[in-house]
Chain A
Amino acid sequence: MTSSAPSVAADATDEAVPEGIWGRISREFRSGNLGSLPVAAALVVIVIIFSQTAQNFFTAVNFNNLITQLAGTCLLAYGVVFVLLLGEIDLSIGYVSGVAGVIVAELQLPGRGVPGLICIVLAVVGGALIGAFQGSIVALVGVPSFVVTIAGFEIWQGVILKSIPQGVIVIQNNTINNMDGYFFSDAAGWIIAAVVSAIYVLSVGSGAFSQVRHGVAIRNRALLAAKLLVVPAASFLIVYICNKDRGLPFPLLLIVAALLILTFLAKRTTFGRHVYAVGGNAEAARRAGINVARIRILVFTISGAMSALGGVVLAARLNSVDLNAGGGTLLIDAISAAVIGGTSLFGGRGEVRNGLFGALVIATIANGLNTIGYTSGIIFIVTGAILLMAVTLDTVLRRIQARSGR
């Protein structure tokens, strides 16, 4: 490279350092890239309101209840985030999760002698295959995902109705029921908090270390330090709260583990990068040599697998599967969670954690209003209003972004 390299590199880094937190926020706002900021703020407001108005809301017992209420929706929402990143939609996830519940319930029947863990794995594989099948029709044939998955919505609902003629299958297998109902001992909870913190710090730290080693400036040292402090602190705080009640619930570990793994997949691997690229500009991705069809199929596969995992947790929560499996508000809640969390419906913008934040908002509203004594009518209205606000914000941000370029 030419001799002008060092001076320009220095210019770039000099520019980056004085930019504080507010500078970053204003730049991110102008570029339409607010991410989880609005939903995090909304969540804080909601929690404050309910802890003032609802008795028994701000308690350890209710926190654990909240986690088990949102676990299934949250796992589905993670898959939805990936699908939305592509700018596609998957409307079949609700009943795919129901099918997974049926698979797990059928396999665990005492007469069959299938170990619980195998039942769970097979159910998840089944969901993944359904996703891969639907994704292939979208990616290879070119049928819009809306139509393919609405067909899936009908088909898998029909499959559920056909496969439970007796109306309900009771799940007696402990391994499966523990997917929802198991609580870790206090000591185990602390160890898990330590392990999660260590994984997070190591992963963020190794990125920063690699930057230093390559002589790349670290922007936002303050933000990096805050991340390294807040996430471990939050982990221990959450375990502390859980231990005041029955202990850390297994579903919480499940959604945190899924969050870490899927975030790694989305942000740190070539696959994840290509998902964002296809969602941002599929033609550019294709010209860059990315196998767009393969990415689409894999994303729908992830969506199917996460739906199935969520379906298993939901079945474990009821200790049974019935004709309503995967129905009700599950589909709408999961998609709303991803969108409320800040994932763009237009593709290319969003993070896996949006699914968790959105699911937290939806579950907290339902839980809080329930605690106060409101009926589901009010809960639907409030949830719908928040969804509307989230989508409006996304649309406005997109317009700001389109303007800021020119």
Chain B
Amino acid sequence: MTATAETTSERRATGTPALEVRGLSKHFGSVQALTEVDFEVYDGEVMALVGDNGAGKSTLVKCIAGIHPADGGQVLSDGEPVDIHGPKDAVRLGIEIVYQDLALCDNLDVVQNMYLGREAHDRIHRLNEAEMEKKTTETMASLSVTTIRSIRQTVATLSGGQRQSVAVARAVHWNSRIVILDEPTAALGVAQTRQVLDLVARLAQQGLAVVLISHNLHDVFEVATRITVLRLGRNVGVYEREKTTQQEVVSAITAGVPTKVAGIAETSA
């Protein structure tokens, strides 16, 4: 990877998003889930991705993550076209995703979930439990996750909020460059929502590109830099948080007119 020490504004100025999607399409059988969708996120910004149920938010994320192969379109990382054929490719590009359904294994403990598929091991694939436990403790502490009693208890014994904390912590744990959060606050109480939103803002401050998928416009307006709106699998607009209102975004979500393939650069004011 050719990640240099450019600042956010320099990146925005030079016009190379950390992650860019161009004209991505995807159908399941006869259902057209995504039609020529464009999307971009720069380092150091929180890009919100909003839309009604079935707008294609989760499908877009799954295409970026390599869970679903896209039918057409291009994904660019730092301006370079990349091929994402599976979850490992996405990870290699520094993309981490917290799924709506969390993708945790109930029968494994917090540490084991944290390192799922990326276990610390020696040359004969023997697990290094102590190192994994130590680093998990550090990450949990850095995120101020104090509600989990023991990181050696199975995820099955955790509450919904605690599970969300584990899932977010796992995404952050891997020093990723692009973190995608799919409805991270949907199952949380007030205090934990606060915590996750603070965390989201902190991630962007640390220079990560953050994509926040949410139904909750209140949350979105609190932390997002820009807002991409999808409707029925098409782009209907990209708004700067400071230059728009919740009403404008709501009307885009419910009745937005597709911007077609005009491209993000033209629609983002």
Chain A residues with a Cβ under 8 A of chain B? 1-2, 4-9, 11-12, 15-16, 27, 30-33, 207, 210-211, 213-216, 219, 268-271, 273-274, 276-277, 279-281, 283-290, 348-349, 401-402, 404-406
> Which 8 A-B pairs have CB atoms at the shortest separation, nearest pair first?
A288-B117, A348-B107, A280-B107, A280-B105, A214-B130, A8-B141, A5-B141, A284-B103
SS class, residues of chain A in contact with chain B: helix
Residues of A contacting B151 with CB < 8 Å?
12
CB < 8 Å: which of B117, B142, B145 contacts A289?
Answer: B117
- A321–B139 Cα distance when bound, in Å, is 59
Residues of B contacting A290 with CB < 8 Å?
116-117
Residue-wise interface mask of B (66-108) relative to A, using a CB-CB cutoff of 8 A (1 in contact, 0 not): 0100000000000000000011100100000101001111111
- Nearest CB in chain A to that of B91: its residue: A289
Residues of A contacting B119 with CB < 8 Å?
270, 273
- Of A8, A31, A286, the most chain B CB neighbours within 10 A belong to A8
Residues of B contacting A274 with CB < 8 Å?
117
- Expressed in whole angstroms, the minimum distance between the Cβ of A159 and any Cβ of chain B is 35
| B209 adjacent to chain A (CB < 8 Å) | no
- A152–B212 Cα distance when bound, in Å, is 49
B157:A287 contact, CB within 8 angstroms? no
B130:A404 contact, CB within 8 angstroms? no
- Expressed in whole angstroms, the minimum distance between the Cβ of B153 and any Cβ of chain A is 7
- If the complex has contacts A269-B121, A281-B103, are A2 and B141 also in contact, measured as CB distance less than 8 A? yes
Residues of A contacting B139 with CB < 8 Å?
1
A273:B87 contact, CB within 8 angstroms? no
| B125 adjacent to chain A (CB < 8 Å) | yes
| B126 adjacent to chain A (CB < 8 Å) | yes
- If the complex has contacts A211-B130, A289-B91, are A9 and B137 also in contact, measured as CB distance less than 8 A? yes
A4:B130 contact, CB within 8 angstroms? no
Residue-wise interface mask of B (180-199) relative to A, using a CB-CB cutoff of 8 A (1 in contact, 0 not): 00000000000000000000
Chain B residues with a Cβ under 8 A of chain A? 65, 67, 86-88, 91, 97, 99, 102-108, 112, 116-119, 121, 124-131, 133-134, 137-142, 144-146, 149-154, 156-160
Residues of B contacting A213 with CB < 8 Å?
130
A271:B117 contact, CB within 8 angstroms? no
Name 23 A/B residue pairs within 8 A (Cβ), A-sorted: A6-B141, A8-B144, A9-B137, A16-B150, A16-B152, A30-B157, A207-B130, A269-B121, A269-B124, A274-B117, A279-B107, A281-B103, A281-B106, A281-B107, A284-B116, A287-B99, A287-B103, A288-B103, A289-B91, A348-B105, A348-B106, A402-B156, A405-B106
B127:A273 contact, CB within 8 angstroms? yes
A1:B121 contact, CB within 8 angstroms? no
- Expressed in whole angstroms, the minimum distance between the Cβ of A345 and any Cβ of chain B is 13
Residues of A contacting B104 with CB < 8 Å?
281, 284
- A9–B146 Cα distance when bound, in Å, is 9
Residues of B contacting A210 with CB < 8 Å?
128-131
Residues of B contacting A7 with CB < 8 Å?
141
Residues of A contacting B121 with CB < 8 Å?
269-270
A216:B116 contact, CB within 8 angstroms? no
- A6–B137 Cα distance when bound, in Å, is 9
Residues of B contacting A16 with CB < 8 Å?
150, 152
- Expressed in whole angstroms, the minimum distance between the Cβ of A180 and any Cβ of chain B is 32
A405:B158 contact, CB within 8 angstroms? yes
Given contacts A8-B140, A285-B105, 13 further A-B contacts (CB under 8 A): A8-B145, A207-B130, A214-B131, A216-B134, A269-B124, A273-B108, A277-B108, A281-B107, A283-B103, A288-B87, A288-B117, A289-B88, A405-B156
- Nearest CB in chain B to that of A344: its residue: B107
Residues of A contacting B157 with CB < 8 Å?
30-31, 401, 404-405
- A286–B158 Cα distance when bound, in Å, is 22
- Expressed in whole angstroms, the minimum distance between the Cβ of A34 and any Cβ of chain B is 13
- A285–B108 Cα distance when bound, in Å, is 11
B87:A207 contact, CB within 8 angstroms? no
B141:A9 contact, CB within 8 angstroms? yes
- Of B107, B117, B124, the most chain A CB neighbours within 10 A belong to B107
- If the complex has contacts A5-B142, A268-B126, A269-B121, are A401 and B133 also in contact, measured as CB distance less than 8 A? no
- Expressed in whole angstroms, the minimum distance between the Cβ of A28 and any Cβ of chain B is 10
A4:B156 contact, CB within 8 angstroms? no
Residues of B contacting A406 with CB < 8 Å?
159-160
- A270–B124 Cα distance when bound, in Å, is 9
B142:A2 contact, CB within 8 angstroms? yes
Residues of B contacting A15 with CB < 8 Å?
149-150
Residues of B contacting A11 with CB < 8 Å?
146
- A286–B168 Cα distance when bound, in Å, is 18
- A215–B137 Cα distance when bound, in Å, is 11
- Expressed in whole angstroms, the minimum distance between the Cβ of A394 and any Cβ of chain B is 13
- A210–B127 Cα distance when bound, in Å, is 11
- Expressed in whole angstroms, the minimum distance between the Cβ of B207 and any Cβ of chain A is 16
- Nearest CB in chain A to that of B89: its residue: A289
Residues of A contacting B103 with CB < 8 Å?
281, 283-284, 287-288
A289:B133 contact, CB within 8 angstroms? no
- Expressed in whole angstroms, the minimum distance between the Cβ of A255 and any Cβ of chain B is 23
Residues of B contacting A288 with CB < 8 Å?
87, 103, 116-118
Residues of B contacting A32 with CB < 8 Å?
156
- A271–B145 Cα distance when bound, in Å, is 30
Residues of A contacting B153 with CB < 8 Å?
27, 31
CB < 8 Å: which of A5, A31, A268, A277 contacts B105?
Answer: A277
- Nearest CB in chain B to that of A348: its residue: B107
B107:A216 contact, CB within 8 angstroms? no
- A16–B152 Cα distance when bound, in Å, is 10
CB < 8 Å: which of A1, A268, A285 contacts B116?
Answer: A285
- Nearest CB in chain B to that of A269: its residue: B125
B138:A289 contact, CB within 8 angstroms? no
- A353–B5 Cα distance when bound, in Å, is 53
- Expressed in whole angstroms, the minimum distance between the Cβ of A33 and any Cβ of chain B is 7
